[in-house]
Amino acid sequence: MFVIKHKKIFVAISIVLVILSLGSIGYFGLKLGIDFKGGSLSEIEYKTARPEQNVIDKALASLSLGEIIIQPTGDMGYSIKTRAVTEAERASIMIALGADATEKSFTSIGPSVGAELVRKSILSFILVSLGIIFFIAFSFRKVSKPVSSWKYGFIAIITLIHDILIPVGVFAALSHSYGTEIDTLFVVAILTVLGLSVSDTIVVFDRIRENIRVGHWKTFEETVGKSLEQVYTRSITTSSTVIIVLLCLVFFGPKSTKVFAMMLTAGMFFGTYSSIFLASPLLVMFNTKKK
């Protein structure tokens, strides 16, 4: 009953977290990566000695590639970002960098491919959200008293927005220090957080649904409170196990999925937090307000 009793405090904490995340997004900004806006990225490694950055700057200046962003990576490498380049331009970049440089990876994405990904991402986001709303409304259709099943769906969506905004805020802060940009994996992370967060909220709602049917407790408030007491161990245990594997992915996994795993960790953590400390209090608040 602790959570329900102090529901205002927990809802307030969530609001503060969301505001902080929005602040982080606004302050650090979200940079679109080449997956979305098109462009090229070369990961270069020098075999014997890495030249100074201004040497590279000078070497590439004559190629008229527009804006070039050069960042040192590791001890021997550079990452070079330019606009989308043709095969001939790529070859001339490699010549300009000298024979000692080897290309570890090269990506060039045309603007139309980027635009396609933007459309696809938005469409999948809408579809996933719709799919989840309908699923919740459907699976809770039999429990329309005392709270209509659409309300469960509506609250699940508020919870979702909360669960997504926070990892995006974390990402904005991370991108500031790691220089990461929004890429395909970012979209995957967001959509996966969507799925995981809803699944957690559903477990809580599912228990409330069951307890309403059993009818042990008199008030709706009490039912929600008791239901939470029954499920929170499970919620915390499972999200800890998922977080354990995610942290393994962060610390030992491939570099390419590091930020992805960090976002999922944040999403998982706040997803669990929100299903206990946000979704249920909101459910009670929505219900008492009406009376």
Partner 1 sequence: MWKTRITALLILALGFGIGFFVYKSELAHRKLSPDKAPTGLAKYPFKLGLDLYGGTHLVYNADISDVAPTEVADSMNALRDVIERRVNIFGVSEPIVQVQNGGFSNAGEERLIVDLPGVTDVSKAVEMIGQTPVLEFKTENPNPNAPQKAVVDKDGKVNITAPDPYVSTGLTGRYLEKAILEFDQTTGEPIVSLQFNAEGSTLFEKITRENIGKSVAIYLDGQPISIPTVNEAITGGKAQISGNFKPQEAKTLVGRLNSGALPVPINLISTQTIGPSLGAQATEAGVKAALIGFLAIALFLVIWYRLPGLLAVIALSIYVATMLALFKFIPVTLTAAGIAGFIISIGIAVDANVLIFERIKEELRGGRTIAESTKNGFSRAWLSIRDSNSSSIITALILFWFGTPLIQGFALTFLLGVLVSMISAISITRLFLSTLNITRTSNVTNFLFGSGFSSAKAQQK
Instruction: Identify residues 256-275 at the interface with partner 1 (CB under 8 A).
Output: 256-257, 260-261, 264
Smallest separation (angstroms) from partner 1 to the CB of 264 = 7
Nearer to partner 1, 54 or 99 (CB): 99
Choose, by CB under 8 A, the member of 105, 144, 219, 288 that binds partner 1: 105
Measure the CA–CA gap between 258 and 246, rounded to whole angstroms.
9
Cβ pair 63, 96 in contact under 8 A: yes
Nearer to partner 1, 22 or 157 (CB): 157
Any contact of residue 248 with partner 1 (CB under 8 A)?
yes
Smallest separation (angstroms) from partner 1 to the CB of 211 = 12
Peptide bond into 111 cis (omega under 30): no
Residues 179-208 that bind partner 1 (CB under 8 A): 184-185, 187-188, 191-192, 194-196, 198-200, 202-203, 206-207
Any contact of residue 102 with partner 1 (CB under 8 A)?
yes
Measure the CA–CA gap between 85 and 258, rounded to whole angstroms.
27
Closest CA to 102 of 86, 71, 78: 78
Any contact of residue 144 with partner 1 (CB under 8 A)?
no
Nearer to partner 1, 256 or 288 (CB): 256
Cβ pair 93, 80 in contact under 8 A: yes
Question: x-or-dash pattern for partner 1, window 61-90, by CB under 8 A?
Answer: -----------------------x-xx--x
List, in order, residues 6 or more apart from 132 with CB less than 8 Å away: 156, 160, 194, 195, 198
Choose, by CB under 8 A, the member of 139, 148, 150, 286 that binds partner 1: 139
Smallest separation (angstroms) from partner 1 to the CB of 220 = 20
Smallest separation (angstroms) from partner 1 to the CB of 35 = 9
Residues 113-132 that bind partner 1 (CB under 8 A): 113, 115-117, 119-120, 123-124, 127-128, 131-132
Cβ pair 119, 250 in contact under 8 A: no
Encoded tokens for 102: 């080897």
Question: x-or-dash pattern for partner 1, window 211-230, by CB under 8 A?
Answer: -------------------x
Nearer to partner 1, 3 or 259 (CB): 259
Choose, by CB under 8 A, the member of 6, 25, 103, 226 that binds partner 1: 103
